[in-house]
Amino acid sequence: MRINATQIADHNKRRLETHRDNYGHLQEQLSKKGLSADAITRQLQELQIAIPSWALGAGGTRFGRFSVGGEPGSLEQKIDDVGLLHALTRSAGAVSLHIPWDIPENVQAIRERAAAHGIAFDAVNSNTFQDQAEQEHSYKYGSLCHVDGTVREQAIRHNLEVIRIGSQLGSKSITVWLADGASFPGQNNLRGALQRTLDSLKTIYRHLPEDWKMYVEYKPYEPNFYSTVIQDWGTSYLLATECGDKAYTLVDLGHHLPNTNIEQIVATLMMKGKLGGFHFNDSKYGDDDLTVGCIKPYQLFLIFNELVYGMQNNTANNPALAWMIDASHNVKDPLEDLIQSLEAIRLAYAQALLVDNQALEEAQAGNDATRAQEILQDAFRTDVRPLLREARLQSGGGLEPLALYRNLEVRKNLIRERGAKTVATGL
Ligand SMILES: [Mn+2]
């Protein structure tokens, strides 16, 4: 299934008048505040979010998995699905592959397929949190932290292989997330496990191509329930700092204990120029991997507010960030869910771009907490959806991507092409 320009143009034509009214009205409102709707629209057009190759099928929990039908059964089909998302939204211009789930058989063909959809290859992800069939040593008791050097060497070799495959595709970064840890007190020597992890990461880092980055992702618990070796941003920061200039911390929104102030973590890391990337999702309790913005949109806005501040005041030379959705879809159609997530991310970004930073600084200097809250919430409560629609319209996407997706009966078409019982590879 491909979505063509005529289908998008037909859809947009029917909604154009209403959109013009809404955009014009917002343009006027914003200009009274000294803001240019057109400038914000251009910034929105530039924000591209990577889609992870594992999010295109139904996820599941340890209790069960319910297929949605028409799931991509190969890397080619996964890239086609990201192509559909990008055609509809013009904001999903990258894919993030998971190795070994998505090893390309024909690199050139995969590159061409992605290029035809306008999709780049973002960070590649290694996997030492589960055993593969052909694997010699088990990761049951850890990978880069393992007490046995031969297991660590195998895990290091895997990461180098991921870098090699990523290089062939044009990726420029690797994300390392480790499940390493202990489920029981006493199981691991905590300091020893961290030291071995650092040594292993340093070995991987030494093999990193000159123009590559390494992202170190953290998570407080799960699958281990007593300790995780890279449990928090501080541990990740320590490891990245010891590895070198090309290593950064990666923040996954779901990888925090309840009520953690994630925007403050963003501010701290950007102050040190060590924030490398973001994995977006939302949660009520733990690493729920729900649709971005479905539970805590205000928190997402506050995070973006710090990101925008950090980008506009980039004194520590923080690099351009790698943005990716890292969610799992148990109930909704994954593609619909991803369209909603893309929308939520851009909404939060647009709202953050509206914040009157000068007024906020004055309020802060005067210790006026009431005024500071008003300034933030004025931006948050502005309906910025016309800006997102305008950005899509100008980029050749759909004014209402979700409605268009449903009108074109995309899922029904995918089921017809691929079958009702397909299961996405890797999950
Ligand atoms: Mn993640």
177 C-alpha to center of ligand 1: Å?
7
What kind and span of H or E run contains 188?
Answer: none
- Cis omega (within 30 of 0) for bond into 223: yes
287 C-alpha to center of ligand 1: Å?
9
252 C-alpha to center of ligand 1: Å?
5
321 C-alpha to center of ligand 1: Å?
14
Instruction: Give the Å distances, CA to CA, from 106 to 109, 111, 169, 369.
Output: 5, 9, 10, 58
What kind and span of H or E run contains 404?
Answer: helix 401-407
Residues in contact with 4: Cβ distance below 8 Å, sequence separation at least 6, in sequence order: none
The Cα 97–Cα 130 span in angstroms is 16
Predicted pLDDT at 63: 86
Q: Are strands 181-182 and 227-228 parallel, antiparallel or unpaired?
A: antiparallel
Predicted pLDDT at 426: 65
What kind and span of H or E run contains 249?
Answer: strand 247-252
Predicted pLDDT at 118: 97
Integer-rounded Cα radius of gyration of the chain: 22
Residues in contact with 327: Cβ distance below 8 Å, sequence separation at least 6, in sequence order: 55, 59, 280, 281, 282, 289, 290, 291, 292, 337, 338, 341
371 C-alpha to center of ligand 1: Å?
36
Burial zone of 271 (CB within 10 Å; 0-12 exposed, 13-18 middle, 19+ buried): middle
109 phi, psi to nearest 5 deg:
-65, -40
Predicted pLDDT at 42: 98
326 C-alpha to center of ligand 1: Å?
5
119 C-alpha to center of ligand 1: Å?
20
219 C-alpha to center of ligand 1: Å?
9
Under DSSP, the state recorded for 148 is S
Express each pLDDT in 58-72 by its tens digit: 888 888 888 899 999
189 C-alpha to center of ligand 1: Å?
26
416 C-alpha to center of ligand 1: Å?
32
State pTM to two decimals. 0.97
289 C-alpha to center of ligand 1: Å?
9
**Most distant CA atoms of the chain, gap in Å:** 66
Mark the ranges of the chain whose per-residue pLDDT is less than 50: none
Q: Are 81 and 335 in contact (CB under 8 A)?
A: yes
264 C-alpha to center of ligand 1: Å?
19
Which amino acid does the sequence have at 23? Answer: Y
231 C-alpha to center of ligand 1: Å?
13
